Amino acid sequence: MNTNITKLSKLFLVAVFGFSLTVQAQLKSEITIGYNKDAPVINKNIYGHFAEHLGRCIYDGFYVGPDSKIPNTNGVRNDIIAALKDLGIPNLRWPGGCFADTYHWKDGIGPKDERPEIVNQWWGGVTEDNSFGTHDFLDLCETLGTEPYLAANVGSGTIEEFTDWVQYVNHSGKSPMSDLRKKNNRDKPWGVKYWGIGNEMWGCGGNMTAEYYVNIYKRYVTFMADWSNSGDLFRIASGANAGDYHWTEVMMRDIPKHMLEGVALHSYSVIDWSNKGSATKFSEEQYFSSMKAALFMDELVRKHSEVMDKYDPEKKTALIVDEWGGWYDVEEGTNPGFLYQQNTMRDAMIAGCTLNIFNNHSDRVRMANLAQTINVLQAVILTKGDKMLLTPTYHVMKLYKVHQDAKMLPVKVSSPEYKFGDKALPAVSVSASQKEGKTHVSLVNIHTSQSVTTQINLDGIDIKNFTAKIISSGKLQDHNTFEKPEAITPKEFKDFKFKKGVLTVTLPPFSVVVLEGN
């Protein structure tokens, strides 16, 4: 082989992919998708989001104030409202996170100029004026058509404070708290269904043991009235940190079934907590580590589900993964406590694989919340002054919203390996669903250099034709910027063939493809 040609080829690969690669033979995978009448419906709440009082998520993110020159509705940016409506977010968690267990909700109601200032001790030590509070958040949820998910202050609050909050937002009759709500210009209650009883009680919520917290949980829930008398309250216990299966065991063993609708789980795709690395300037080794951490979610969900199955074989209690996503070092020159990071094709891979995992485990996973919505961690939206951009993660979630409340189709996957050194991961991730006569298949190829030819056998599923969209780019480190906000957007995808019930798709390196058949 001509040495100069070989050198040029290697230089090309470095330029395109951002790191040196070895050319291999094209990879192949085989997938079988069938129909099972007993398969679960993929709960739309798996596609939930998370908005904490952290950095620029609320202030200078969602909320710019009614006097801002940026077009807004009651202080919330109109472009963000439009983007989140288009994304179809089913639920939104607020006000934290760690912030929840230092937040006192009565500080955030009433005339804005009379609200006390507070210091956000968790995130940057900044002073907040409480101008965005309960009314602002719940009215925003109404505008978005999304379910609010409130995280209660258990760490530094009281049972009375908590039950007053439930009464304030849910009681339609005459009571001290409903009267206070009406005084603050809201006659009709919001009817909040989803309630988290504290957050990360093993850590920032109070550094408790599972055995101690479970009794705290039962006390709070005992005094938590369902003011609508509908029986619709969905009570979520603060759950485990990643692989702490003992925590889940205690929650399921010691909380009576009639007091528990969901158990939470938190897990982030982190390379190394002591050295998380840059969001945009990363090596293939760091990328591989990120994907290994993301794919570990499958093991976490399976093992926590196995613990839950011991006490709840009918799967009535949901596993709620209400914090997930990539976590890197903050962008240079930004406040370390604000957790502001860019969002690249790596994050698109994390989003696609994680959502496939949740879809495939939708018998137990019935809610999840990406951390976080705007300007924090793996955000779907970034803002800068009056500018706004949609990240690759936003575009993945928008393509995947077709799975919301669709019947899950069981998949069997034979995947080639994506190798780095002596380690290997499955290259291909998939999930599928069916709704209103349409079949959707979401595919991810995490390999950095190799396309994967995927043969999909549609076992007894009647489909006449397919269309598809793809999210891909030239380099894993590529991302949208305020100068080029549409560098990465979904495009029409045609590199597939459909013949006699067999769909053959060629997945480019590090790409997400969603196919629609009818």
- Residue 331 known to be catalytic: no
Strand ranges (E), 147-295: 147-151, 194-197, 234-241, 262-269
Q: CA–CA distance from 332 to each of 272, 341, 377 (Å)? A: 19, 9, 14
Structure tokens at 434: 């069916």
The one catalytic residue in 52, 128, 147, 200 is 200
Task: Please name the amino acid found at residue 211.
Answer: E
Q: How many CA atoms does the CB half-sphere of 71 hold within 13 Å?
A: 7
- Cα 7 to chain centroid distance, Å, stands at 42
Structure tokens at 241: 């940190």
Say if residues 197 and 219 touch (Cβ distance below 8 Å): no
Other CB atoms within a 10 A radius of the CB of residue 470 amount to 19
d(CA 257, CA 2): 71
Quote the DSSP letter at residue 374.
B
Closest CA to 377 of 143, 97, 180: 97
The one catalytic residue in 52, 128, 147, 323 is 323
Closest CA to 252 of 166, 163, 314: 314
Say if residues 58 and 117 touch (Cβ distance below 8 Å): no
- Residue 323 known to be catalytic: yes
Task: State phi, psi for 151 to the nearest 5 degrees.
Answer: -100, 120
CA dihedral (330, 333, 337, 341) in degrees, to 10, reads -30
Task: Please name the amino acid found at residue 182.
Answer: K
Structure tokens at 101: 């267990």
Q: Is 483 exposed, middle or buried (0-12, 13-18, 19+ CB in 10 A)?
A: exposed
Helical axes 210-222 vs 245-254, angle rounded to 10°: 40
- Cα 23 to chain centroid distance, Å, stands at 34
Q: Which residues are catalytic?
A: 200, 323
